[in-house]
Each structure stands twice: as C-alpha cells, then as structure tokens.
C-alpha cells in the first residue's frame, strides 16, 4: 500500500451542549491510501458526518491528529486549511449546494478561479468535467433547470475541478431516488477507477457495497473495517 493520503489517529470530537458535552466521535483511527474507495456507514447519529467533516478539515477534532499527505492539518491556520480544501480535497454534499445564480459551467469553473487557474485552463477543465459527468449539453443551465441527479453530477464535477487527491461525499444519494442514486454511484465508481481516493458516507448498503473498504460506525466509534 502506498503512503496514506489521509491518516487519522485517535480522533475524538466532543460538542458542548447545554445539558452537558456530547461525544460524537471517540478515539477513531484509520487511514485512506491514494487509490482507496472507503464507505462509512452506520445508523443516524453514529458520527459518520462528523468524521467526514474532520477528514475534510471542515471541523477540528477535540483531540487526536489528522495527517494530510503526512502534514498535521489540524494545527494549520484557517487560510491554509481553506487552501488545502480548495486544491486537495473535493466535497460532495447530500443537498448539492450548487449556487443557484450560476450555470452548471460556472459552478464547475468557480473553484478553479478561486485556486488561481488560468482562464484557458479553466475552460478546458470545465468542458472536460462536464463531458465526464455527461452534462455537456446542460452547461448553460442553472441548477433550477436541472434534475436532482444532474445537480449531483454537476456537484461531483465541481468537487473534481481542482483535481483533488481525496474526494469526500456525504450521503451523495440521500436526496435522490434509487435509480438516480445508482447512476451517481456508478459515476463515483468511475471517479475512483480513474485514480481518485474516495470516502463516502452513506446509509445506503448498496452504495456502501461498491466501496473496496467498508467502515461501520456505532456511537462514535468504528466497529468494523478499520485497518489495524
């Protein structure tokens, strides 16, 4: 196995609540190698999304370390973590979060512009990605003119825009019907096959089954699938 793209050791996340602190993640350790496709599943409230947010540097752990490419990102200033999210990590959300005032093309182009990619390169990459997800004909459509499945495909193209080393997907089929969900799952398979590391959080056993490695969580802990 090649060096891990991300490596979590003893991650714990506790949320302060009026009734007392709630521990959403307890001492979780695992790593993801560059060619892995990992599915994290478990009942609601078991800490799946919390884990994904920590892996994506969207949130910080109460304790434990998180290495991205061997670098502890939990201690980095916000601007640097933003830069890593922008250029190294792709996010796919359950609710897509495409910007409604932008076209599919602009949504995919936006993170590239923020990363400082030149205009000709952005054009080429955006065209390539929309073609990749099968939406070249819908490039000038706004999210409101797209179906749920199409929106999620645009969201996946956006997540891949800056060629991230890790793709994180939080319930990517949660808002879709079964048939459309399968199409998204197939797209994620293809993304993985093309050499991207993926961590997907899902309730759907069918989606989880497509992953090479499945982690099962309960009460904030990984109860199955984590490597030693």
Partner 1 sequence: MNSFHFAWRSLFRQPVRAALAIAGVAAIGALLFDMLLLSQGMLISFRDLLDDGGFDIRILATPSTPISGPRMADAAATAAAVEALPEVDAVVPMRIGQARIVGPDSVNLSLIGAVTSRRDAWTVVEGVDLDDLIGNDDPPMVINRNIAEELTLAPGGTVTIRSECTERYSVLPTVDFVVSGIAEFPFDPVTQMTAAVAMPDFDRACGSVMDEADVFLVATRAGEYPEMAVAAIQRLRPDLHAYSNDQLVDRFQQVGFSYFRQISTVLATITLFFAFLLISVLLTVSVNQRFAEIAALRALGFSRRRIAGDLLWESILMVGTGGLLALPLGLVLAIWLDRILKAMPGIPSDLHFFVLYPAAVILHVALLAAAGALAAAYPVFLASKLPMASTLRNEVVG
The β-bridge partners of 214 are 39
Is 100 a binder of partner 1 (CB under 8 A)? yes
- Figure out which of the listed residues 11, 84, 184, 226 binds partner 1, where binding follows CB under 8 A: 84
Is 69 a binder of partner 1 (CB under 8 A)? no
Minimum distance between the CB of residue 226 and partner 1, rounded to whole angstroms?
22
The Cα 182–Cα 159 span in angstroms is 19
Residue with tokens 């304790």: 63
Is 127 a binder of partner 1 (CB under 8 A)? no
Is 58 a binder of partner 1 (CB under 8 A)? yes
In this structure, are residues 33 and 4 in contact, taking their beta carbons and an 8 Å threshold? yes
Is 133 a binder of partner 1 (CB under 8 A)? no
Q: Where in 167-196 is the site for partner 1 (CB under 8 A)?
A: 170-171, 174
Minimum distance between the CB of residue 104 and partner 1, rounded to whole angstroms?
14
- Figure out which of the listed residues 102, 183, 214, 225 binds partner 1, where binding follows CB under 8 A: 102
Is 110 a binder of partner 1 (CB under 8 A)? yes
Is 59 a binder of partner 1 (CB under 8 A)? yes
Please, what is the end-to-end C-alpha distance for the chain in angstroms? 13
What does DSSP assign to residue 102?
Answer: S
Spatial neighbors of 18 by CB under 8 A, at least 6 apart, are none
Minimum distance between the CB of residue 225 and partner 1, rounded to whole angstroms?
23
Other beta carbons less than 10 A from residue 200's beta carbon: 27
The Cα 117–Cα 135 span in angstroms is 22
The Cα 5–Cα 61 span in angstroms is 18
Is 76 a binder of partner 1 (CB under 8 A)? no
Is 42 a binder of partner 1 (CB under 8 A)? no
Is 49 a binder of partner 1 (CB under 8 A)? yes
Is 53 a binder of partner 1 (CB under 8 A)? yes
User: Can you read off the two tokens belonging to residue 211?
Assistant: 């992953």
Minimum distance between the CB of residue 49 and partner 1, rounded to whole angstroms?
6
Query: In a 3-state reduction of DSSP, which class is residue 152?
Result: helix
The Cα 151–Cα 145 span in angstroms is 9
Interface residues with partner 1 (CB under 8 A) are 49-50, 53, 56, 58-59, 78-79, 82-87, 89, 91, 93-95, 97, 99-102, 106, 109-111, 113-115, 158-159, 162, 170-171, 174
């Amino acid at each position: 196995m090649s060096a891990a793209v991300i490596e979590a050791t003893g991650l714990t996340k506790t949320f302060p609540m009026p009734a007392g602190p709630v521990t959403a993640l307890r001492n979780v350790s695992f790593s993801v190698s560059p060619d892995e496709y990992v599915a994290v599943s478990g009942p609601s409230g078991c800490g799946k999304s919390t884990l994904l947010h920590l892996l994506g540097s969207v949130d910080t752990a109460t304790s434990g370390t998180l290495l991205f490419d061997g670098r502890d990102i939990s201690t980095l200033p916000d601007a640097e973590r933003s830069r890593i999210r922008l250029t190294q990590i792709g996010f796919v959300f359950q609710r897509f979060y495409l910007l409604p005032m932008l076209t599919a093309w602009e949504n995919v182009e936006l993170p590239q512009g923020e990363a400082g990619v030149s205009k000709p390169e952005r054009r080429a990459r955006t065209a390539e990605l929309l073609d990749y997800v099968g939406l070249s004909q819908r490039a000038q459509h706004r999210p409101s003119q797209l179906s749920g499945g199409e929106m999620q495909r645009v969201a996946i193209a956006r997540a891949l825009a800056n060629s991230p080393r890790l793709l994180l997907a939080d319930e990517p089929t949660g808002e879709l019907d079964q048939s459309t969900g399968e199409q998204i799952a197939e797209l994620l398979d293809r993304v993985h096959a093309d050499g991207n590391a993926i961590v997907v959080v899902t309730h759907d056993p069918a989606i989880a089954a497509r992953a090479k490695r499945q982690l099962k969580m309960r009460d904030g802990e990984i109860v199955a699938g984590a490597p030693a």
